[in-house]
């Protein structure tokens, strides 16, 4: 039986005894081939590129946070780079409290089969803020919301930066920070008390309630509470 | 949004239905001379609701949302104007817990994120951990891991196929798909002892080698499985109802799909031939002969075609892996990272020390970081791990493919009908365990 489905990229199998590619095996812990985009970045942006590391065959480029959006846009648009795919966006906080928090972007250039890791270091004590890459990659939307939710890092320019995995009234802080205890900041009794005191009607955000007449149709008592500043939504 | 016009030759269409699977309704009346004339449809009895939008809450407890996904929809009549997704109902803090666990202790958590692909996640995670340790597994373990990944890809696609059929209104293919999935689970059960939560891998090897007679059982499965794919295809691919309910829905162009970060069958259905197995190969995938199916329109129908073709290609890979499965040990011979055999641990001093150190302290990778991506059934599944030289990772990050795929759902459903939201949502192949983690 044939499908109406013909376009296909045919497989090209290497012979089994061909030399293993350097991508997955025989990679050194430190050093090795640097992604050519790192040199191109140095040439183009100069001092905005702070450091280039190669760890386990992957190139990490630490860049200046203030020029991040400019750098990512160039990587995305330049015909010799074409980093059109944002694989991942996350942050790392180290156990050593002196070390700055790292925000990490994993970019892929599908055309040239390259993988590049960009990093911005955020010093603790200063406001944790970095430019959003949402105008360049729409896929960054939920990544940045999650990063804000878990680490409290604000992404300037994100259209709708609010919590995503935790609910909107979550008061315990940012769970993936190292000063956040594994069992949560509040005691079990306090967590239970808050859960029982929550308003079960407030399942919709104000934005959702503003749709059509839904807001006006709410019970008077709830309307009064909402108007007096009670937060809704999850 | 551009509408897509395509012709699909429909074989099993029911009489009285058009090619799109919609019933042909022509109100008829008999004139005085006995001939039939067409009359206009009667005026609608519905009250005028123009301009009034409705708020519909879909989920989190709804069988067609494939878990605890909640969509708040703004409707104009039956058309979706806006979609606001809410996730996080299943959030368990896997990444936080991982910072308090040794690498081998994280493996059981990887079972539970994308629970339809549990053994595939085990392999993906351990590839990342082994990169961090700077070790390679044995040739036998490499082939066994390929077999594990392809088996779980087939199992996951079968669950997707069955549940999507249920969502769209076909019941029988669900039974066929789950029957085949049962064969895969009995294979896994004989191998690692568990069906769903496999925890099959360890740093430097596997928890167990395959038992005797296992390859023959797998060979039987590989031989018989393509017949089931043919049956499913005969039932669905040219079925008028199926085509009518899937074609042109939730279409994403190649540029949009790339920009939204989609991966896996979602991206390939839009025409971007990005498969991690081909582009950034791991586990010697570059030495296997298989094709990457690529769609053209990026709608629900193309995603179905891509996934069905992937079932065939996975079977091809399984055949090749069975042919080349080498003999030899399944674990590497380095007892700083992998437990020595129990008989040695109770009889030799050195092995006993290794055993003690590993159980009490755990193996320690050098300082470093790595991002290892594999092609999971849902797309690019990445594990980003950072080590500070201790036995527990500083950061263990999952890059969940269905999280990113789901983030494009407002873009995909807006402008479609409420009933199409179910079909589009089903086509994303989400697993909430992976999205909420």
Q: Is B392 helix (H, G, I), strand (E, B) or coil?
A: coil
**Rounded alpha-carbon distances, angstroms, from residue B29 to A121, B26, B39, B117:** 77, 10, 7, 57
Euclidean distance between CA atoms B1 and A110, whole angstroms: 27
| Nearest beta carbon to residue B380 from set A87, A137, A140 | A87
**Distance of residue A43 Cα from the nearest chain B Cα, in angstroms:** 26
Euclidean distance between CA atoms B228 and A17, whole angstroms: 35
For an interface test with B, give the residue of A51, A53, A85, A214 to mutate (most B CBs within 10 A).
A85
**Distance of residue A47 Cα from the nearest chain B Cα, in angstroms:** 24
Q: Does any CB of chain B come closer than 8 Å to the CB of residue A207?
A: yes
Q: Does any CB of chain A come closer than 8 Å to the CB of residue B58?
A: no
| Residue B278: both structure tokens together | 């081909």
**Distance of residue B317 Cα from the nearest chain A Cα, in angstroms:** 11
Q: Does any CB of chain B come closer than 8 Å to the CB of residue A29?
A: yes
**Distance of residue A42 Cα from the nearest chain B Cα, in angstroms:** 22
Pairing type for strands A129-131 and A154-156 reads: parallel
Q: Does any CB of chain A come closer than 8 Å to the CB of residue B289?
A: yes
Tell me whether residues A55 and B370 touch, CB distance under 8 A.
yes
For an interface test with A, give the residue of B316, B371, B410, B434 to mutate (most A CBs within 10 A).
B371
Q: Are B407 and B71 in contact (CB under 8 A)?
A: no
A167: which chain B residues are within 8 Å (Cβ-Cβ)? 88
State residue A7's pLDDT score.
43
> What pLDDT, in 10s, does the model give residues B152-198?
999 999 999 999 999 888 888 899 999 999 999 999 999 999 999 99
Phi, psi of B221 (to 5 degrees): -60, -45
Residue of A nearest to B50 (CA): A212
Euclidean distance between CA atoms B287 and B326, whole angstroms: 15
- Count A/B contacts: CB-CB distance under 8 Å: 191
Measured over all CA atoms, what is the biggest interatomic distance in chain A, rounded to whole angstroms?
76
Q: Does any CB of chain B come closer than 8 Å to the CB of residue A204?
A: yes
| Nearest beta carbon to residue B293 from set A8, A95, A165 | A8
Euclidean distance between CA atoms B318 and B144, whole angstroms: 10
For an interface test with B, give the residue of A2, A3, A5 to mutate (most B CBs within 10 A).
A5
| Beta carbons within 8 Å of B344's beta carbon, 6+ residues apart | B351
Phi, psi of A131 (to 5 degrees): -70, 145
Phi, psi of B146 (to 5 degrees): -60, -45
| Nearest beta carbon to residue B88 from set A115, A167, A207 | A167
Q: Does any CB of chain A come closer than 8 Å to the CB of residue B410?
A: no
Cis peptide before B60 (omega within 30 of 0): yes
Q: Does any CB of chain A come closer than 8 Å to the CB of residue B53?
A: yes
Euclidean distance between CA atoms B131 and A23, whole angstroms: 11
pTM for the full model? 0.84
> What pLDDT, in 10s, does the model give residues A103-133?
999 999 888 888 999 999 999 888 899 999 9
Tell me whether residues B88 and A165 touch, CB distance under 8 A.
yes
Q: Does any CB of chain A come closer than 8 Å to the CB of residue B308?
A: yes
Tell me whether residues B55 and A204 touch, CB distance under 8 A.
yes
State residue B75's pLDDT score.
84
Residue of B nearest to A109 (CA): B279
Tell me whether residues B305 and A5 touch, CB distance under 8 A.
yes
Residue of B nearest to A233 (CA): B86
Q: Does any CB of chain A come closer than 8 Å to the CB of residue B342?
A: no
Query: Among A122, A131, A146, which Cα is nearest to B93's?
Result: A146
Tell me whether residues B84 and A207 touch, CB distance under 8 A.
yes
Query: Among A176, A140, A173, which Cα is nearest to A155's?
Result: A140
- Residue in this structure with the two tokens 């590839």, named with its chain if needed: B127
| Residue A167: both structure tokens together | 């609910």
Tell me whether residues A139 and B259 touch, CB distance under 8 A.
yes
A23: which chain B residues are within 8 Å (Cβ-Cβ)? 280-282
Phi, psi of B71 (to 5 degrees): -115, 125
Cα radius of gyration (chain A): 23
Terminal alpha carbon distance of chain B: 33
| Nearest beta carbon to residue B291 from set A10, A138, A204 | A10
Residue of A nearest to B406 (CA): A142
Tell me whether residues A93 and B395 touch, CB distance under 8 A.
yes
Q: What is the pLDDT along chain A (234 residues), one digit of tens a residue?
A: 344 443 445 444 444 454 444 445 667 777 778 888 888 988 888 888 888 989 888 899 999 989 999 999 999 998 888 898 999 999 999 998 889 999 999 999 888 888 999 999 999 888 899 999 999 999 999 999 999 999 999 999 998 888 889 887 788 889 999 999 888 888 888 888 887 887 665 666 666 666 655 666 667 776 776 677 665 554
State residue A10's pLDDT score.
45
State residue B162's pLDDT score.
92
Low-confidence ranges of chain B (pLDDT < 70): 1-32, 34-51
Q: Does any CB of chain B come closer than 8 Å to the CB of residue A84?
A: yes
């Amino acid at each position: 039986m044939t499908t109406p489905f013909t376009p296909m990229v045919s497989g090209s199998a290497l012979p089994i005894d061909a030399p293993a590619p350097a991508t997955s095996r025989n990679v050194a812990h430190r050093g090795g081939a640097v992604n050519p985009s790192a040199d191109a970045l140095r040439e183009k942006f100069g001092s905005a590129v702070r450091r280039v590391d190669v760890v386990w065959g992957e190139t990490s480029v630490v860049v200046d946070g203030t020029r991040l959006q400019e750098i990512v846009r160039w990587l995305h648009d330049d015909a010799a780079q074409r980093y059109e795919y944002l694989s991942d966006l996350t942050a790392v906080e180290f156990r050593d409290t002196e070390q700055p928090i790292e925000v990490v972007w994993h970019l892929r250039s599908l055309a040239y089969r390259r993988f590049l890791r960009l990093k911005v270091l955020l010093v603790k004590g200063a406001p944790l803020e970095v430019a959003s890459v949402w105008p360049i990659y729409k896929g960054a939307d939920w990544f940045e919301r999650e990063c804000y939710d878990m680490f409290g890092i604000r992404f300037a320019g994100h259209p709708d930066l609010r919590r995503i995995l935790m609910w909107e009234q979550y008061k315990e802080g940012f769970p993936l920070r190292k000063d956040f205890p594994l069992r949560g900041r509040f005691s079990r009794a306090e967590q239970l008390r808050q859960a029982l005191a929550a308003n079960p009607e407030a399942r919709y955000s104000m934005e959702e309630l503003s749709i059509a007449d839904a807001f006006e149709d709410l019970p008077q008592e709830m309307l009064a509470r909402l108007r007096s500043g009670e937060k809704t939504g999850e | 949004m551009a509408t897509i016009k395509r012709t699909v030759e429909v074989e099993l269409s029911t009489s009285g239905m058009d090619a799109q699977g919609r019933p042909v309704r022509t109100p008829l009346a008999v004139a005085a001379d006995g001939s039939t004339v067409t009359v206009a449809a009667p005026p609608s009895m519905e009250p005028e609701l123009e301009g009034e939008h409705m708020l519909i809450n879909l989920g989190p407890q709804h069988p067609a949302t494939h878990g605890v996904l909640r969509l708040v929809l703004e409707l104009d009549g039956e058309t979706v104007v806006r979609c606001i997704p809410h996730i996080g109902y299943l959030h368990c803090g896997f990444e936080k817990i991982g910072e308090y666990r040794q690498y081998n202790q994280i493996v059981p958590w990887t079972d539970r994120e994308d629970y339809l692909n549990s053994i595939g996640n085990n392999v993906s995670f351990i590839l990342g951990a082994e990169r961090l340790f700077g070790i390679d597994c044995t040739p036998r373990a490499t082939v066994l891991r390929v077999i594990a990944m392809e088996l779980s890809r087939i199992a996951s696609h079968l669950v997707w196929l069955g549940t999507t059929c249920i969502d769209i209104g076909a019941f029988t293919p669900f039974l066929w798909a789950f029957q085949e999935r049962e064969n895969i689970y009995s294979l896994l059960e004989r191998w690692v002892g568990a069906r769903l939560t496999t925890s099959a891998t360890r740093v430097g090897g596997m928890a167990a080698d395959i038992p005797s007679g296992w390859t023959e059982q797998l060979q039987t499965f590989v031989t018989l499985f393509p017949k089931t794919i043919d049956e499913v295809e005969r039932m669905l691919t040219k079925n008028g109802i199926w085509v009518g309910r899937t074609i042109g829905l939730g279409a994403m162009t190649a540029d949009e799909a790339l920009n939204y970060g989609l991966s896996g069958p979602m991206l390939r259905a839009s025409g971007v031939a990005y498969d991690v197995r081909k582009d950034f190969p791991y586990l010697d995938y570059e030495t296997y002969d298989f094709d990457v199916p690529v769609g053209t329109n990026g709608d629900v129908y193309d995603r179905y075609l891509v996934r069905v073709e992937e079932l065939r290609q996975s079977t091809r890979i399984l055949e090749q892996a069975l042919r080349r499965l080498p003999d030899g040990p399944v674990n590497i011979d380095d007892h700083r990272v992998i437990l020595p055999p129990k008989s040695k641990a109770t009889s030799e001093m050195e092995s006993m020390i290794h055993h003690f150190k590993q159980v009490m302290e755990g193996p320690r990778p050098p300082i470093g970081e790595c991002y290892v991506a594999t092609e999971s059934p849902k797309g690019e599944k990445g594990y980003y791990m950072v080590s500070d030289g201790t036995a527990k990772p500083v950061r263990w990050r999952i890059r969940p493919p269905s999280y990113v795929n789901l983030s494009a759902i407002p873009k995909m459903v807006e402008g479609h009908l409420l009933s199409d939201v179910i079909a589009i949502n089903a086509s994303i192949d989400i697993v909430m365990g992976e999205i909420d983690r």
